[in-house]
Structure 1
Amino acid sequence: MPEGDHRQPIAHRCNDRVEDVIQACFEGNPFKTVPGPFKLFYECMRSKPGEEPTAPFFYLELDPPTREVKLE
Structure 2
Amino acid sequence: MSREVPRRESPWGVSGGPHREPKAHRCNDRAEDVIHACFEGNPFKTVPGPIKLFWRCMRSKPGEEPTEPFYYLQLDPPKREEPKLE
Shorter-chain TM band: over 0.9
Structure 1 residue ranges (4+ consecutive) displaced by more than 4 angstroms after TM superposition: none
Q: 2:33 aligned to 17, 20, 30, which one? A: 20
CA distance in 2, matches of 1:7, 1:46: 26
Shift in Å, 1:7:
2.4
TM superposition score normalised by structure 1 = 0.93
Q: Report the counterpart of residue 31 of structure 1 in structure 2.
A: 44
Shift in Å, 1:6:
3.4
Q: 1:46 aligned to 55, 59, 71, which one? A: 59
Whose helix fraction is larger, Structure 1's or Structure 2's? 1
Q: Do residues 55 (structure 1) and 41 (structure 2) align?
A: no
Alpha-carbon RMSD across the aligned residues, in angstroms, is 1.2
Shift in Å, 1:11:
0.6
Q: Do residues 6 (structure 1) and 44 (structure 2) align?
A: no
CA distance in 1, matches of 2:18, 2:75: 32
Unpaired segments ≥5 residues, structure 2: 1-14
Residue identity (%) = 75
Unpaired segments ≥5 residues, structure 1: none
Structure with higher Rg: it is 2
